[in-house]
């Protein structure tokens, strides 16, 4: 499966994508991330983060009206529960991070599959490709591995350095299992 993040097109069948949620500790906290995520940012924060990290930036907002300005400032991925977010994704060609039902509506509306990261909804969704894990340490690593075995190929976390190591091992084991015919890649 491919994932589009701005100009990047990432192949998630060979490598799990790690999205670092900035938690206020600065760019060092996202070492190993493929992209960064900001919750409720200002336009200035999107611009500064993009410049400081050189990585694609995603944003979570409650108000769909803020999305146009944030995308114009450089955000390439959005998370917003408003139905209007789908229109923004279509018009501005940005990636959406959303629960299953909204992901279904987005693809039905014409948002390309590589621009939709489906995360499990409240009822759970076995077809998810993205997961947000919170916290740090072994519990978080276990959540990411369980999600990976369930098909998640994009992990959003504040524990980037550790999770990058965990998913790298998971990816290598998956490739080895597939190459030897001893299992099917998640």
CA dihedral angle for residue 142, residue 171, residue 22, residue 56, rounded to 10 degrees: -150
> What is the percent of the chain with per-residue pLDDT over 90, rounded to a whole number?
58
What pLDDT is stored for residue 26 in this prediction? 52
Structural domains for the chain: 2-180 (3.20.20.20)
**Global confidence as pTM:** 0.88
- Is the per-residue pLDDT at 15 higher than 80? yes
Phi, psi dihedrals of residue 2, rounded to the nearest 5° = -100, 150
Burial bucket for residue 107 (CB in 10 Å: 0-12, 13-18, 19+) = middle
Tokens of 179: 């190459």
- Is the per-residue pLDDT at 183 higher than 60? no
Residue-wise pLDDT for 61-93, tens only, equals 998 999 999 999 999 999 998 889 999 999 999
Which DSSP string corresponds to 15-82?
S-EEEEEP-SS-GGGGTT-SEEEEES--HHHHHHHHHHH-S-EEEE-S-GGGHHHHHHTTEEEEE--S
Residue-wise pLDDT for 103-150, tens only, equals 999 999 999 999 999 987 544 454 568 999 988 889 989 999 888 888
> What is the percent of the chain with per-residue pLDDT over 70, rounded to a whole number?
89
Q: How far apart are CA 168 and CA 81, in angstroms?
A: 31
Reported confidence tier of residue 186, pLDDT bands at 50, 70, 90: very low
C-alpha separations of 23 from 20, 45, 134, 137 in Å: 9, 13, 11, 16
Placement of tokens 């803020």 in the chain:
66
């Amino acid at each position: 499966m491919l994932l589009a993040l701005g100009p990047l097109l990432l192949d998630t069948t060979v490598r799990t994508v790690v999205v670092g949620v900035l938690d206020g500790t600065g760019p060092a906290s996202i070492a190993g991330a493929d992209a960064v995520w900001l919750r409720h940012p200002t336009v200035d924060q999107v611009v500064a983060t993009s410049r400081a990290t050189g990585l694609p930036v995603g944003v979570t907002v409650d108000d769909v009206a803020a999305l146009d300005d944030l995308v114009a400032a450089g955000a390439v991925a959005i998370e917003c529960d408003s139905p209007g977010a789908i229109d923004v994704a279509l018009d501005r060609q940005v990636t959406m991070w959303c629960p299953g039902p909204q992901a279904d509506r987005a693809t039905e509306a014409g948002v390309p599959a590589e621009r939709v990261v489906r995360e499990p909804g409240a009822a759970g969704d076995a077809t998810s490709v993205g997961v947000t894990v919170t916290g740090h340490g072994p519990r978080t690593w276990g959540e990411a591995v369980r999600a990976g075995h369930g098909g998640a190929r994009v992990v959003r976390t504040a524990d980037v350095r550790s999770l990058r190591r965990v998913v790298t091992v998971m990816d290598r084991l998956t490739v080895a299992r597939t190459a030897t015919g001893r299992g099917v890649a998640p």
